[in-house]
Amino acid sequence: MLLLSGISKQYAGQTILKNITIPLSKNRTALVGMNGSGKSTLMKIIAGIEYQDTGEITTKRNAVIEYLPQQAVYDFKGTVFEEVSAWLNSDRFNELSAREAELIKILESTDNPDDSICEELAEVVEELHSLDVKTRKKNSVETILLNLGFSKSDWGRSAKTLSGGWQMRIALARVLVREPDVILLDEPTNYLDIATIDFLADWLMKFDGQTLLVSHDRDFLNRIVEETWEVFAGNVNIYRGNYDFYLVEKEARLKVLEKQREKQLDEIKILNDFYEKNRFNAATAPLAQSKYKQMEKLKDELITLPRTPPKMTFRLPDPKRGGEIAVELNKVYHSFGDIDVIADYKRIISRRERIALVGRNGFGKSTLMNIIGGEIEPTSGECRLGKDVEVSYFRQHEITLLPGEMSVIRFIESIAPFDMMTKVKTLLGCFLFYEDDWDKKIAVLSGGEKVRLAFIKMIMNPGNLLLLDEPTTHLDIDSKEILLRTLQNIDATIIFVSHDSHFINSLATSVVYFRGRCDIMNFPGTYQEYLDRYGHDIIEEDGPEAKSDQPVSKGKSDFTQQKELRNRMNRLKKDLDSVQALINSKENEKKSLSEKLSAGSGDPASVGKRISTIDDELLELMQKWEDLSSELEKINN
């Protein structure tokens, strides 16, 4: 268990966290809150990257905590496979092995060892065994790499030559391979496709340790989270459930807080009225001054309510109506050099369809989108737009085309149609641009803010065929909900790529699933219906966890197999020696206690109780010795 006690943190005199005392008691906990509320700061403090002003963090002895930040620069030296496999707990393994040897020497040098030495050795042996099991999991590194999108041909590539998104995947793979005690994840799904997100969710559900994560993927949170921490106004509020549970409970809590705030405001008004009426009267001035102090104290204690995003209060302009057939694709092929991506693809897309293009990255989703959008010509086949169809294409690089020197409000006013000029400020508010954001230069906006601004630009004059390539990237949950409501109400055909399953399920009426290169399925139902029929796209290991009589995975050289066998045998022999040392120690202690009883010294009740405990411990140790001996014998055979 990880326990935060009295954690406080200030930046430039501003309190970010104040006296946080909270245990990480669940296996999977979400950390939520507005941007700038202190989520990342709290994670960095737990990870030891930043230091708190007050308080302390308590964990179990030698706990391993791994932190995966939202963005980082990695100084990789080796190949993809080398960078990941190097994190198979080797440092911890060596450290524990050295401590094990020290403890065995101590036990062998005395006939009456201290109980704490025996207990520590037992803990060390248990942790070494656990690490050994993790290390021996068949294809653990291979399986993780495949499910994170690295094909076998990628494993030998230099890690430092990959893009930032793929380097983040390597960093995530290292965390999963290591399996620490506590994992801290800050937006882990940002660079993952939907199949990879499914794998990560499945992995975390099976993980024995504890996970604290920040994510803007609503379904991902609902699927795995057991508890939700909300950071607001320097405090952390606990909600004993997943994200949807948190939303319901938060709304109920907000209603209570609103009533309490109204009561505070009423009281402040009464105190202020009394003060204004009586402060110049000599007889009542002292009492008025007292009321003034009460009022100021109450103002300091006034409950702060979080900003709630507004609902759309007006309808956006409808695009021009197009024909009943929006797009017709007939025997479309496309290749890049010798690599075929799309083969013999056919589809008729009707007016007002909402189609999600889903699947792993690299299988042709963006290629098909570019063919429909007229960005590229197919190698062969035909893509024909319907009558009066006008395309609006939203891509991630749209944010780079925004004029950085202009302010938010000036930019929107410059592109707004005449009949929307009076609604610009309302529209900005609906997309979470509040009054204090209007005069900001576009260049200083965050990635999510730029995405929202680029989307506003598109819907000012929308076409009747919207192509959206990952429009939810960099958006928080509130922003995604606003984008979703807008698209649900617009009279247009929509084809989109997204890796957010909640967004897909809420918008798409049908799915095009890219199962592999040149393997595309048109599914006439929702994404959830697809999953119900075909399941999640997770790459399983070739077989069950490696057994003792099959300790080496297939495909390795004889030399590698022999080396792994020798290492395993040496490990087993060391474990046997450790267990034997513990057995000898327990037997010596039992012999000494029995001699005390025979001599009539010591308290018979307590000595007898200790002997009984030792007998139980010896039974467990003997069973462990037999298990290890049996496994060693199998390998020898």
Strands of the sheet with 235-239, listed across from one edge = 65-68, 182-186, 210-214, 28-32, 227-232, 235-239
Give the bridge partners for 356, in sequence order: 496, 511
- Contacts of residues 460-463 at CB distance under 8 Å and 24 or more positions apart, as own/partner, are 460/317, 460/412, 460/415, 460/416, 460/417, 460/420, 461/317, 461/392, 461/415, 461/417, 462/316, 462/317, 462/319, 462/392, 462/490, 462/492, 463/319, 463/389, 463/390, 463/391, 463/392, 463/492
DSSP 407: B
- For residue 227, pLDDT over 90 is answered with yes
Which of 199-213, 437-451, 552-566 bottoms out in mean pLDDT, i.e. has the lowest? 552-566
Rounded to 10°, the helix 115-136/558-599 angle is: 160
- For residue 556, pLDDT over 60 is answered with no
Cα 137 to Cα 26: distance, rounded to the nearest angstrom: 26
Burial class from Cβ neighbours inside 10 Å (0-12, 13-18, 19+) for residue 301 reads: exposed
Give the pLDDT mean for 59-76. Answer: 86
* Per-residue pLDDT, 616: 72
Q: Indicate the pTM of the whole model.
A: 0.73
* Per-residue pLDDT, 28: 95
- For residue 579, pLDDT over 90 is answered with no
- For residue 12, pLDDT over 70 is answered with yes
Give the pLDDT mean for 261-280. Answer: 92
* Per-residue pLDDT, 312: 59
- CB–CB of 380/391 below 8 Å? no
CA angle, 358 then 363 then 367, to 5° = 90
Give the pLDDT mean for 536-557. Answer: 47
Per the model's pLDDT, the better-predicted residue between 120 and 444 turns out to be 444
- For residue 419, pLDDT over 50 is answered with yes
Burial class from Cβ neighbours inside 10 Å (0-12, 13-18, 19+) for residue 625 reads: middle
Average pLDDT, the chain: 85
pLDDT tens for each residue of 587-634: 788 778 777 777 777 777 777 778 778 777 777 777 777 677 767 666
Please check whether the two domains, 2-247 and 325-534, share a CATH topology: yes
- For residue 563, pLDDT over 70 is answered with no
pLDDT tens for each residue of 340-349: 999 999 999 9
Under the banding of pLDDT at 50, 70 and 90, the label for residue 382 is very high
Q: Give the CATH number of domain 2-247.
A: 3.40.50.300
* Per-residue pLDDT, 315: 65
* Per-residue pLDDT, 301: 87
Burial class from Cβ neighbours inside 10 Å (0-12, 13-18, 19+) for residue 596 reads: middle
Cα 428 to Cα 407: distance, rounded to the nearest angstrom: 12
- For residue 102, pLDDT over 90 is answered with no
Percent of the chain with pLDDT over 70: 90
- CB–CB of 47/31 below 8 Å? no
Per the model's pLDDT, the better-predicted residue between 178 and 31 turns out to be 31
Distances (CA, A) of 462 to 323, 448, 475: 16, 21, 21
* Per-residue pLDDT, 425: 87
Percent of the chain with pLDDT over 90: 46
SS3 58: strand
Which of 427-441, 461-475, 604-618 bottoms out in mean pLDDT, i.e. has the lowest? 604-618
Kind and range of the H or E run holding 147: helix 140-147
* Per-residue pLDDT, 543: 39
- CB–CB of 347/378 below 8 Å? no
* Per-residue pLDDT, 460: 85
Q: Which CATH class is domain 325-534?
A: alpha beta
Per the model's pLDDT, the better-predicted residue between 322 and 418 turns out to be 322
Max mean pLDDT range (74-78, 98-102, 123-127): 74-78
Question: Buried b / exposed e across 380-393, counting CB within 10 Å, b at 16+?
Answer: ebebebbeebebbb
* Per-residue pLDDT, 133: 65
What ranges do the domains of the chain cover?
A: 2-247, 248-300, 325-534, 568-636
Per the model's pLDDT, the better-predicted residue between 623 and 296 turns out to be 296
